Amino acid sequence: MLLIVALYLAELVHFDSRVCANPHGLIRKYGLMCCRQCFRSNAKDIGFIKYR
């Protein structure tokens, strides 16, 4: 019974970008929760520096 409830709740969890609501190419590391396109356009504002 517990397994059925856990599987049902897992289907309800939906991750998407905070910026544009795009579910594809999502960066969840460090709690960013934004898609890769939004990350590239906002990386300097967030404080990330490109070294290479």
Query: Model confidence over 12-49: pLDDT tens digits?
Result: 677 888 889 888 898 989 889 899 999 999 999 989 99
In which element (H, E) is residue 35 found?
strand 34-35
Q: Sketch the domain layout of the chain as residue ranges.
A: 15-52
pLDDT at residue 3 in the model: 80
pLDDT at residue 5 in the model: 77
Cα angle value 8/13/19 (rounded, 5°): 165
**30 burial level (CB within 10 Å; 0-12, 13-18, 19+):** exposed
pTM of full prediction above 0.75: no
Q: How far apart are CA 7 and CA 5, in angstroms?
A: 5
Query: pLDDT higher for 52 or 43?
Result: 43
* Whether CATH 1.10.645.10 fits 15-52: no
**Radius of gyration over alpha carbons of the chain, in Å?**
15
pLDDT at residue 52 in the model: 84
